[in-house]
Amino acid sequence: MKILIIGGGGREHALAWKLSHDSVKHDIHCAPGNAGTANLAENIPMAAEAIAEIAAWSRREQPDLVVVGPEAPLCAGLADRLAADGIAVFGPGAAGAQLEGSKVFSAELMHECGVPAARSNVFTDAATAEHYAETLGAPLVVKAEGLAAGKGVTVCETLETARAAIRQALIDRAFGDAGARILIEEFLQGEEASILALVDGRQTVMLASSQDHKRAHDGDQGPNTGGMGAYSPAPVVTAALWPRIDHEIFQPVLRGLRAKGIEYRGILYAGLMIDSGGNPKVLEFNCRFGDPETQAILPRLDGDLYPILRACAEGNLDGCDIRWRPEACVCVVMSAGGYPGAYTKGDPITGLETAARQKDVTIFHAGTALRDGKIVTDGGRVLGVTALGATLRDAAATAYEAVDMIRFNNAHYRRDIAGKALSRTAD
């Protein structure tokens, strides 16, 4: 099958890697891809947001499936454009992608559908927002409404931090139009989990649980990032929680979307907070595979990926049989020093081959490029060093052993990926 993967990060490398392990050999293309996907696919020099160029390529090449990785092209209507040309596409149209593209749309839909979520209000005026924050009291959360590459959410432990976040978005316009409106939400206590579900318009098939690590530094300190690592499964998601997550969250949202005339096909990602009583509330929705959750989930998928993606795109998940390997998986993100702030590019990376030779280790490239035959840094999140293990403790140990073999200038990574899960178990 001819497959086009849109995007150039770790998620897209993981998708290409898993598809390359299907029982049927595929003709895989990535736009634009990275130094890692170059070993599995043909990289095409098209930006993920270049909708007209991608549509023209797809009309000419007639891929059997286009898999859209990032949220920006989905929110901009890439799936709609491809579907109009008769191209099978995995990913929702722009109307459904509002769940991620507009936090206001998402919050209003959850309220209408009775989905458990944080209380929130919307603001465009800084003074009014600051007054509300003072009334709500810290801790609280300030969110830019639109897409900000995972950096538009500020967890504010003090009112001073909240005022700074409000002014950053509404006065300094640090996020451009994405921060022209902000949400101020109550701070939810508990432990986070990521649940990704395949959606064919009406049915859901939930994937293995995982937990992301958004903050830049150990102990969940520092600014929010696109994600510094993930692991699967997440023990906080107990057997009793699975039906509740489907019945209380996914199904009401799908009914709400259908009531608005929106048929959602693709991945629907619910970022959840699980409180001390085991009750889930929604922190956010995403309209695509998570990054780095995908890197921790797909190595555990037992079987071919293409038939699942194709069935979802065609609106028919009936009889879809997904099996999971018993091993746990841990992905540690190595980032450029300074990320999510300013960082350098073009630094040589060494030790990749040695690390990749370790048993049960896979290196997913995120921000990398080939320069004069050498692999160099080319983004904030550079690599996702991923390992399988009989237990989470084994997987984490193996991943960190591989991390220690890799070098590039000012490399940064968290040392506590999977720490919350490991604190629950004695193995």
Q: Which of 180, 197, 222 is the last residue of a domain?
A: 180
Token representation of residue 324:
């999971």
pTM of this structure = 0.94
Check residue 100 and give its pLDDT: 94
Torsion of Cα atoms, 379 then 163 then 212 then 415, to 10° = 70
Domain count, the chain: 2
Q: Which of 180, 214, 248 is the last residue of a domain?
A: 180
Between helices 103-113 and 251-259, what is the axis angle to 10°?
Answer: 100
Antiparallel, parallel or unpaired: β 328-335 and 381-389: antiparallel
Check residue 12 and give its pLDDT: 98
Residues contacting residue 229 through CB under 8 Å, at least 6 positions apart? 212, 213, 292, 330, 331, 332, 333, 384, 413, 414, 417, 418
Identify whether the C-beta of residue 156 lies closer than 8 Å to the C-beta of residue 130: no
The reply to whether 85 and 10 lie within a common domain is yes
Q: How confident is the chain (427 residues) per 10-residue block, as mean pLDDT? A: 98 98 97 97 97 98 98 97 98 97 93 94 93 92 83 88 93 89 92 97 95 95 93 97 97 96 97 95 95 98 97 92 96 96 96 97 97 95 98 98 97 96 74
Residue 47 included in any domain: yes
Q: How far apart are CA 325 and CA 323, in angstroms?
A: 7
Residue 201 included in any domain: no
Residue 302 included in any domain: no
Residue 236 included in any domain: no
Residue 403 included in any domain: no
First to last CA, the chain: 42
Residue 342 included in any domain: no
Residue 215 included in any domain: no
Residue type, 308: I
Residue type, 371: R
CATH of the domain at 163: 3.30.1490.20
The reply to whether 157 and 78 lie within a common domain is no
Range of the domain at 57: 2-93
The reply to whether 136 and 87 lie within a common domain is no
Check residue 178 and give its pLDDT: 85
The reply to whether 65 and 132 lie within a common domain is no
CATH of the domain at 42: 3.40.50.20
Check residue 299 and give its pLDDT: 98
Check residue 256 and give its pLDDT: 97
> Residue 304: enclosing H or E segment and its boundaries?
none
pLDDT per position as a tens digit, 60-89: 999 999 999 999 999 999 999 999 999 999
The reply to whether 84 and 13 lie within a common domain is yes
> Residue 186: enclosing H or E segment and its boundaries?
strand 182-186
The reply to whether 28 and 77 lie within a common domain is yes
Radius of gyration of the chain, Cα coordinates, nearest whole angstrom: 20
Check residue 203 and give its pLDDT: 92
The reply to whether 139 and 85 lie within a common domain is no
Coil/strand/helix, residue 242: helix
Identify whether the C-beta of residue 412 lies closer than 8 Å to the C-beta of residue 336: yes
Check residue 404 and give its pLDDT: 98
Identify whether the C-beta of residue 231 lies closer than 8 Å to the C-beta of residue 192: no
Q: How far apart are CA 75 and CA 405, in angstroms?
A: 38
Check residue 392 and give its pLDDT: 97
Check residue 424 and give its pLDDT: 77
Identify whether the C-beta of residue 231 lies closer than 8 Å to the C-beta of residue 421: yes
pLDDT per position as a tens digit, 109-159: 999 999 999 989 999 999 999 999 999 899 999 999 888 766 788 889 999
Residue 104 included in any domain: no
